[in-house]
Amino acid sequence: MIHRSKLAQIHIAKSQLGLSEDDYRALLARVAGVSSAKELTNRNVGAVINEFQRLGWKPAPAKRAGRKAPRPPRTRASVMSKVEALLADSGRPWAYADGMAQRMFNIERVDWLDDDQLTRLMQGLVIDAKRRGK
């Protein structure tokens, strides 16, 4: 039996492609030799998903793992937005800034830094951007 997320992905593809129930069952029988998606195994689920993609279905991009952006008080909003812009420019998640806060100040999250610490963290990200040639 396949994982529920794969089963859901198959049903999403079926509905997005607009397949009728008969066409869907025929596709399953042709590609995997089963009459229901619940009968799929881990070996043949990939073939079914590949067939959906061949027919024009595009899976939604996976969500990036990570946490939400911090919501700072107004006094730190401008510096925090600069930190967010520097992280986005370098393609790094908030966890990277949290790691910097941990190494620089022994504080677990960027949210918990005071004004001076947050400014110094932002300056570190600016130095990093300059090193990368941005």
CA angle 89, 95, 98 (to 5 degrees): 105
Q: What distance in Å separates the CA atoms of residue 72 and residue 77, rounded to the nearest whole number?
A: 6
Confidence (pLDDT) at 65: 63
Confidence (pLDDT) at 60: 80
Confidence (pLDDT) at 130: 92
Confidence (pLDDT) at 118: 94
Confidence (pLDDT) at 132: 86
Q: Which residue has the tokens 């399953």?
A: 28
pLDDT digits (tens, 9 = 90+) for 33-44: 999 888 888 888
Confidence (pLDDT) at 42: 84
**Helical axes 77-90 vs 115-131, angle rounded to 10°:** 30
Residues of the chain with pLDDT under 50: none
